[in-house]
Amino acid sequence: MRFSRKNLGIPYAVFLLLFVVAPLIVIVIYAFTNGQGQFTLENLTGFFTDPNTLGTLFYSLAIAFVTTVVCLLLAYPIAYILAMSELRTKSVIIMVFVLPMWINFSLRITALKEVLTLIEGNLARYPFTNAVVGITYDFLPFMILPIYTTLSKLDGALREAAMDLGADDLHTFLQVTLPLSVPGIVSGVSMVFLPAMTNYVVLDMLYNSTYIMGSLIGSYFSAYNWHGGSMIALILLAIICLFTLLTTEPGEENERGGALL
Amino acid sequence: MVKILKRAYLIIMLLFIYLPILILAVYSFTSATQIGAIRGFSLQNYVTLFTTPELTDMIRGTLLLALGSAAIATVLGTLGAIGAFYSGKRVSTLIGSLNQVPVVNADVVTGFSICILLVVVFHISKDTFIPLVAGHVTLCAPFVFLSVMPKIKQMDSSIYEAALDLGATPLTALFEIVIPQIVPGIVSGFALAITLSLDDYFISTYTKPAMFDTISTYVVNATKGSQTTIKTALWALSTVIFAVVVLIVIGMNVRALQKEGGSHAKE
């Protein structure tokens, strides 16, 4: 057989079929069957009629929403100040801001937990706040980096043009810089919002015992209930798809991976 | 005035990010079992960290898993990117979209679904480490693919054609011409794969053998327990990792500066 560069992709294509496509198919099958292997909609209707699981869904959405907004409000000024600054060392400073990304998250949350315990005394008193602070602490770099990247690629001439045409600083920001930085915001939001709905270890470690969507999968997993767990996974997948469709412009390639590099 | 405010904001944010890690680092050198308590200097936590088999095994296991999965992911992802680039538009779009699935998917879902497929459906024992490694490669390979792809797109394809015209076999041309041009993408993909694997909790927790722990799964369980010697030894671990990361980042920056200096000298 003649060597062709196309064929180099075969192992990866097979790998994707085995470990990406096949697990998804299995999840769908398990979500719509019961322990006897019969087709059922019970897992689906069960989720949407049980006040507990619905509560979990709304609690996750609330945590994710608040965390994303907090991250955005904290990260945008950092990215903006650094991207607009004339400092020669700004690439080093941005590195300092995102460096914690490379420290194991469980150890960072341990550190945060000790400090919060010192400040609050009893962590159990502020479960919602702690969850928001914890996830923000964990994911802030993932919000800073894409916004910084987008802002530092902006053509300064556009801002100068706005100024020349009589816009003040505020209007230049609101009508030129901010709209142009939307792609960075979108990719930052997508990197914070979904983990905030699912990363239940952060809540666990900070003694917030309320379930979020991820914890439901964890509890079904511990109970060997593959069918219930699969349905939650499927619902999460649906939310993720919806989110991706909303945040990806048609024809635009998702740069989430690229933003990390 | 604005400048001072800007500086102050950056400093406050840096304090928010670094203070917990630094406080933990200071306390890791004392015999205190709780932040806020004042105790004398002690290296006991570091002794515990490096002499307790449970801890050293867990650290070694995490590193081996990260290196192994990252190596497999790098080979698969790189070959996949080259293959996808030279395939027809439909195949290449298909591989690109499937590649995106683990990237946008929640790790809980990725880990859980791989566990169901391999362990529940195919009865592969978690003790074989196959589900764990498969899970970590699934987590990492897509990011290698994504970091290699732009380099392939930037590559000058005429050099490859020239090599073929000059009599190189396609395979030689691949290794001598294509791979060297995309090395930066491969290296950053490998580095990213290692950090993803090291940081992972969810995929490990759903696919690992019961007696095996990664740093993340170990720390999460340890914080639930009440063993203070282990708890404070983990402060030492956090400090060691922090120091290593800082050194690597400094090293990378120094190298980047030297390169910059070098290229200026040439001009």
Q: Are B258 and A108 in contact (CB under 8 A)?
A: no
Residue with tokens 């024809």: A251
Over its length of 261 residues, how does chain A's per-residue pLDDT go in tens digits?
Answer: 456 778 888 999 999 999 999 999 999 999 999 888 888 898 899 899 999 999 999 999 999 999 999 999 999 999 999 998 887 788 888 889 989 888 999 999 999 998 999 888 888 888 999 999 999 999 999 999 999 999 998 888 888 888 888 888 888 888 888 999 999 999 999 889 988 999 999 998 998 888 999 999 999 999 999 999 999 999 999 998 888 888 776 544 444 444 443
The phi, psi pair for A68, rounded to 5°, reads: -65, -45
Count of domains forming chain A? 1
User: How high is the pLDDT of residue A132?
Assistant: 95
pLDDT at position B169 over 90: no
- The verdict on residue A66 lying in a domain is yes
- The verdict on residue A159 lying in a domain is yes
Q: Looking at the complex, does the CB of residue A48 fall below 8 Å from at least one CB of chain B?
A: no
User: How high is the pLDDT of residue A72?
Assistant: 97
- The tokens describing B100, both together, are 């995106």
The 3-state secondary structure of chain B, one letter per residue: CHHHHHHHHHHHHHHHHHHHHHHHHHHHCECCCCCCCCCCECCHHHHHHHHCHHHHHHHHHHHHHHHHHHHHHHHHHHHHHHHHHHCCHHHHHHHHHHHHHHHHCCHHHHHHHHHHHHHHHCCCCHHHCHHHHHHHHHHHHHHHHHHHHHHHHHCCHHHHHHHHHCCCCHHHHHHHHHHHHHHHHHHHHHHHHHHHHHHCCHHHHHHCCCCCCCHHHHHHHHHHCCCHHHHHHHHHHHHHHHHHHHHHHHHHHHHHHHHHHHHHHHC
Total length of chain A = 261
Nearest chain A residue to B141, by CA:
A12
User: How high is the pLDDT of residue A143?
Assistant: 95
Tell me: the pLDDT tens digits for B224-248? 777 788 888 999 999 999 999 999 9
| Rounded percentage of chain B residues whose pLDDT exceeds 70 | 97
Q: Are B140 and B196 in contact (CB under 8 A)?
A: yes
* Mean pLDDT lowest among A33-37, B103-107, B170-174, B262-266: B262-266
Residue with tokens 């989110």: A243
pLDDT band at B261 (very low <50, low <70, confident <90, very high): low
Mean pLDDT of B102-107: 91
User: How high is the pLDDT of residue A10?
Assistant: 92
Q: Looking at the complex, does the CB of residue B255 fall below 8 Å from at least one CB of chain A?
A: no
pTM summary value: 0.89
* CATH code given to domain B56-224: 1.10.3720.10
* Distance, C-alpha A199 to centroid of its chain: 9
Residue A85 distance to chain B (closest CA, Å):
10
Contact A92 B253 (CB under 8 A): yes
* More reliable by pLDDT, B34 or A261: B34
Residues of A in contact with B163 (CB under 8 A): none
- Chain A segment 75-134 residues within 8 A of B by beta carbon are 77-78, 81-82, 85, 92-93, 95-97, 99-108, 110-115, 117-118
Contact B238 A103 (CB under 8 A): yes
- The tokens describing B2, both together, are 């604005």
Domain limits for position A133: 41-259
Q: Looking at the complex, does the CB of residue A8 fall below 8 Å from at least one CB of chain B?
A: yes
Contact A23 B116 (CB under 8 A): yes
A5 vs B27, B86, B215: nearest CB:
B86
Contact B120 A226 (CB under 8 A): yes
pLDDT band at B263 (very low <50, low <70, confident <90, very high): low
* More reliable by pLDDT, B258 or A225: A225
ipTM associated with this complex: 0.88
Q: Looking at the complex, does the CB of residue A214 fall below 8 Å from at least one CB of chain B?
A: yes
Residue A16 distance to chain B (closest CA, Å):
7
- The tokens describing B153, both together, are 């797109």
User: How high is the pLDDT of residue B265?
Assistant: 47
pLDDT at position B71 over 50: yes
Q: Are B145 and A255 in contact (CB under 8 A)?
A: no
- Chain B segment 37-96 residues within 8 A of A by beta carbon are 76-77, 79-84, 86-87, 91, 95
Residue boundaries of the structural domains of chain B:
1-42+228-267, 56-224
Q: Within 10 A of B197 (CB to CB), how many other CB atoms are there?
A: 26
Specify the CATH number for the domain of residue A175.
1.10.3720.10
User: How high is the pLDDT of residue A257?
Assistant: 41
B201 vs A96, A108, A201: nearest CB:
A201
Residue B98 distance to chain A (closest CA, Å):
7
User: How high is the pLDDT of residue B111?
Assistant: 95
- Which residues make Cβ contacts (< 8 Å) with residue B15, sequence separation at least 6? none
User: How high is the pLDDT of residue B3?
Assistant: 85
Q: Which helix (H) or strand (E) holds A258?
A: helix A256-259
Q: Could you give the CA distance from residue A97 to residue A144 in angstroms, rounded to a whole number?
A: 8
Partners of B30 in the beta sheet? B41
Contact A111 B24 (CB under 8 A): yes
What's A35's DSSP letter?
Answer: T
Q: Are B213 and B126 in contact (CB under 8 A)?
A: no
- The verdict on residue A239 lying in a domain is yes
